[in-house]
């Protein structure tokens, strides 16, 4: 799993759904993420990240006991 995938999960965005649903935007974000610090990335993309979270909400899978 890439750092970008882990970052998206930390922001409660489903990386797989985002990649499938908005491939060009996903690729653009992934490229930008590799070139700047995650904090700067968040500051620059905050409005878009909030929109993506609503559209591609990541729900943590429940662990079966």
Structurally, how many domains does the chain consist of?
Answer: 1
Q: In this structure, is the dihedral angle defined by the CA atoms of residues 29, 23, 14 and 16, taken in order, positive or negative?
A: negative
In a domain, 25, yes or no: yes
Residue 64 has pLDDT above 70, yes or no: no
| Host domain of residue 13 | 3-55
In a domain, 26, yes or no: yes
In a domain, 46, yes or no: yes
In a domain, 60, yes or no: no
In a domain, 22, yes or no: yes
Lowest mean pLDDT among 1-5, 6-10, 52-56: 1-5
pLDDT in tens, 11-62: 999 999 999 999 999 999 999 999 999 999 999 999 999 999 999 999 887 7
In a domain, 16, yes or no: yes
Give the total residue count for the chain.
65
Residue 38: what pLDDT?
95
């Amino acid at each position: 799993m890439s750092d970008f995938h882990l970052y998206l999960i930390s922001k409660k965005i489903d990386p797989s759904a985002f990649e499938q649903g908005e491939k060009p935007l996903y690729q653009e974000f992934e490229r930008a993420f590799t070139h700047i610090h995650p904090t700067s990335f968040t500051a620059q993309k905050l409005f878009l990240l909030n929109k993506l979270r609503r559209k591609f909400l990541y729900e943590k899978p429940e662990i079966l006991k």
